[in-house]
Structure 1
């Protein structure tokens, strides 16, 4: 079985490719958290996969929370892997993820990072990729996923993760600050371009948006995936002043 989390579709696309090739069931983490049934029964030769985007050089908090809460019945050291999507590098994500598993008594056998089009626009100087770079990343990702699928099929114990420069600072210092100060939904707002189409509401993976008087209202349960911002056809969703003039991206295979 493959557990995944995705906001703007990059990780969902990866999870779809893996699920099809590995013939493993695909499980959306937010739906499990809403349902509350955290117990999963494993077959003897079943593979266990986790697919998620990188949030400020670490796994999203929702993924780590899910791992902490879930249980794997009949776990006997089955092959376990992760694949994460990133705009460039992932810092010490491998360490963070493997520690979360070790606290459950589980072993991670393989891990991979796949460079995908960038979608994080809240940091100064951060924006979506140019159309040319976006298309190049998507094209390269196809070949990379084929290679990853071959390695997983053979149950190879390998790690191909791009840490990048100053990984300790990115993951151990910047990421905690991100989780503390950048996860708040209170700065979301809509311009007069909003047409009340509800696409932001429908795109939110954790059902944190409700429409009131034809406009979206954000609750407190935000993962900072920015799906609501990127999916808006009118580019009416904004986050304070940080998104002014920034671009938009949603995986073309998912919407």
Structure 2
């Protein structure tokens, strides 16, 4: 069973490749919460995987909240792993995720990171990758995921995440600040270029965007995945003044019009 969370599609693509290779079922975490599915019964020989993006050098809060909420019955040392997508490095994401699993009485056997195109654009100096780098990352991700699948098939033990420089500072200092101050949807708005296409509503993984009078309105349950910003065909979705000159990115290899809001 592969549990995953994704906004702009990078982690969804990885999850799909792993689920197909391992012949495991895909579960979108926000859908499980929306549908009130609190318990999953694990088969004796089941591989249990978690795939998610790295947000400010840690797992998304929505992933940690899912782990606190869900019950995985019949766990008795099945092979458990995670794969995280990141624009550059992961910090101590492994530590935070393993700690969250341990609170459920589960041991994480392996962890991996996959470099994928950047999509965070809300701070100065942060923008999407140039097209050449975007293509390079997407091309190299194919081989990286194949390597990861080989490790999962062999149930190999070990953690292979690119922590980068100053991982302690990034995860212990910057990540809590991000979660406290940078996950609000209040600065989101739509300019007069909005055409009411509802793509932002459909792509939101947690159903936090609702169309009212042909304009999107944001609620209080934002994950800061920025999918609503990246999907807008008119670049009409903005986050204060921070995004007017920033680029947009969606993974070109998956369909992500989406999950929680559309079903």
TM-score over 0.5 for the alignment?
yes
**What is the deviation of 1:72?**
1.2
Matches within 5 A, 1:21-100: 21-100=21-100
Q: Distance in 2 between matches of 1:35 and 1:43?
A: 22
Deviations 1:173-221 (A, max 9, x none): 1111111111100000111110000000000000001111110000001
Q: What is the aligned partner in structure 1 of residue 171 from structure 2?
A: 171
Q: Which residue number in structure 2 is paired with residue 116 of structure 1?
A: 116
Write out per-residue CA displacement over residues 63-82 of structure 1, whole angstroms, 9 at most, x where no aligned residue: 00100111111111000000
Q: Structure 1: how far apart are the matches of 2:111 and 2:40?
A: 21
How many residue pairs get aligned? The number is 255
Q: 1:6-25 maps to which residues of 2 (within 5 A)?
A: 6-25=6-25
What does residue 242 of structure 1 align with? 242
1:160 maps to which residue? Answer: 160
Shift of 1:158: 1.6
Cross-structure match for 1:137: 137
Tell whether 2:185 aligns with 1:211. no
Secondary structure of the equivalent of 1:112?
strand
SS in structure 1 opposite 2:254?
Answer: coil
Q: Deviations over 1:71-122 (max 9, x none)?
A: 1111110000000000000000000000001111100000000000000001
SS of the equivalent of 1:223 reads coil
Aligned to 2:259: none
Return the alpha-carbon distance in structure 2 between the equivalents of residues 68 and 161 of structure 1.
Answer: 23
Runs of 4+ in 1 over 3 A off after TM superposition: none
**Aligned mates of 1:105, 1:189 — CA distance in 2:** 42
TM (normalized to structure 2)?
A: 0.96
CA distance, structure 1, for counterparts of residue 43 and residue 74 of structure 2: 7
CA distance, structure 2, for counterparts of residue 170 and residue 35 of structure 1: 34
Give the equivalent residue in structure 2 for 1:148: 148
CA distances 1:10-61 after superposition (whole Å, capped 9, x unpaired): 0000000000000000000000111112101011110000000000000000
Unpaired runs of 5+ in structure 1? none
Shift of 1:241: 0.7
Matches of 1:121 and 1:73 in 2, distance apart?
Answer: 39
1:184 and 2:191 are equivalent in the alignment: no
2:263 is the alignment partner of 1:254: no
For 1:20 and 1:132, locate their aligned partners in 2 and report how far apart those are by CA, in whole Å: 28
- In structure 2, runs of 5+ residues without a counterpart are 256-263
The two structures, once aligned, show a CA RMSD in angstroms of: 0.6
Work out the CA distance in 1 between the residues paired with 2:133 and 2:59: 24
Q: Secondary structure at the match of 1:8?
A: coil
